[in-house]
Amino acid sequence: MTRHFSEIPRFKDVSQNEWDDWRWQLRNRLSTLEDFEAILNLDEKQRADLQACMGKFRVSVTPYYASLMDPDDPGCPVRMQGVPTPAELVVRQEDLKDAVSEDFDSPTPRITHRYPDRVLFVVTEMCSMYCRHCTRRRLVGGTEDIVAQEQIDNAIKYIERAPEVRDVLISGGDPLVLSDDTLEEIIARVRAIDHVEIIRIGSRVPVVCPQRITPELCAMLKKYHPLYLNTHFNHPKEFTADSKRACDMLNDAGIPLGNQSVLMRGINDCANVMKRLCHKLVQYRVKPYYYYQCDLAEGTAHFRTSVAKGIEIAESLRGHTTGFAVPVYIIDAIGGGGKTPVMPNYVISQAPGQVVLRNYEGVISKYTEPDDYVEPECHCEDCEADRKRLGVAGLFDSDTPTMQDVWAARMQKVVDRKNRMKD
């Protein structure tokens, strides 16, 4: 059940113009017990529970996203993402502050450089709403000051000094809570760096504050192509006329959209819900990109599922629906292990020259490899320059016989990258 905002007593005097104004949405976010009491029907126990957990992690929900909540059902998937519960107070042994060690791979504040050719650039700690499952809750919502200019300058300096970086992922927090001008200044400076080929923005506003996607914003962003945007829908209930308009405007500005979901207990841990979510996404011209195993961030244990559930979902999608509607299941490994794809096995056996495969239907078939395949000498520019690969692929390069060598090279990179900031 979704209510029009005028049917919600708290918002009945709000004009359509105000409602459609993203600044109004941010100014009028719900963040106190009283705010939630005004839109949800809480019994005494629910009220006491909510009161008990308000102080721990930042709470803030846009009126728009709150209007999608079922006032009577605590299990509403929208409500579960926005309204805290005492389960957040539970800290488990496996919980971590910096769940994926983003700080370890940070050569300068706001930059995480973990993969060879791309960096994560955290331009702000602010979000339009604070998700209960956020993996960056150690950072987000901490300061709502203006962006720390010196750190931004240093982050850009780092990218300038890292010629291998061809992809910059502008994230947060949520970069789209910044004004058009502030955001443009950052994007323009990144775009001005010769070796940066593509820019990506990570933002949840199309889902939780779609009013932020304005013609002015789109006109600004399209000046900096090739530019991509990844958003974060988790449940079919989040698709509305407003979120559709936001996605349409971005798509029409030539910005390819992708989606990263988090697999969560009671929200989308059902193969059917996940399939409906993916079908909605492609109807909105959003490519389902990843779904993540819920990280070990503090206070999110109640959302976590088994890994088996994630694999079952992958099994239920591949082959059963449009290939490009199938996202990749990812576990972001602790200790900076990084994004690790996990999926069912499709290669079920092998012998020299032969591979035995199974498809989604359980049909088993054999692929016969060419018996005369000898790797030809490659003369592409990278092979000619004898460029070494990192990671497991590095094992294929003749002078890195063990994973220890590969790991030593990885640690050396962390040091080299930090040294770039020494003037």
Ligand X SMILES: *Cc1c(COP(=O)(O)O)cnc(C)c1O
> Which residues of the chain form contacts with ligand X (CB under 6 A)?
112, 114-115, 118, 120, 169, 339
Active site (annotated) includes residue 280: no
What are 409's two structure tokens?
A: 């090279």
Q: Whole-number minimum distance, CB 205 to ligand SF4, in Å?
A: 8
Residue numbers of the site for ligand SF4 (CB under 6 A)? 127, 130-131, 134, 136, 140, 172-174, 204
- DSSP codes joined into one string, 319-353: TTB-GGG-PEEEEEEGGGTEEEE-----EEEEETT
Active site (annotated) includes residue 380: no
Active site (annotated) includes residue 174: no
- The residue among 76 and 281 lying less far from ligand X, judged by its C-beta, is 281
Q: Whole-number minimum distance, CB 119 to ligand X, in Å?
A: 6
- The residue among 110 and 136 lying less far from ligand SF4, judged by its C-beta, is 136
Q: Whole-number minimum distance, CB 57 to ligand SF4, in Å?
A: 9
Active site (annotated) includes residue 417: no
Active site (annotated) includes residue 339: yes
Contact 132, 82 (CB under 8 A): yes
What are 149's two structure tokens?
A: 């200019």
Active-site annotation holder among 53, 76, 131, 247: 131
Apex 260 CA angle, 347 and 107, nearest 5: 100
Active-site annotation holder among 79, 114, 237, 275: 114
Q: Whole-number minimum distance, CB 302 to ligand SF4, in Å?
A: 16
Distances in Å between the Cα of 318 and the Cα atoms of 270, 309, 312, 345 are 15, 15, 10, 12
Question: What, of ligand SF4, ligand X, none, does residue 79 touch, CB below 5 to 8 Å by kind?
Answer: none
Active site (annotated) includes residue 218: no
Question: What, of ligand SF4, ligand X, none, does residue 118 touch, CB below 5 to 8 Å by kind?
Answer: ligand X
End-to-end CA distance of the chain: 58
| Element holding 288 (H helix, E strand) | strand 286-293
Burial of 235 (0-12, 13-18, 19+ CB in 10 A): buried
Active site (annotated) includes residue 167: no
Cα separation, 38 vs 416, whole angstroms:
54
Query: CA nearest 304: which of 355, 268, 335?
Result: 268
Active-site annotation holder among 3, 115, 138, 397: 115
- The residue among 166 and 276 lying less far from ligand X, judged by its C-beta, is 166
Active site (annotated) includes residue 278: no
Catalytic positions, written as ranges:
114-115, 118, 127, 131, 134, 136, 295, 332, 339
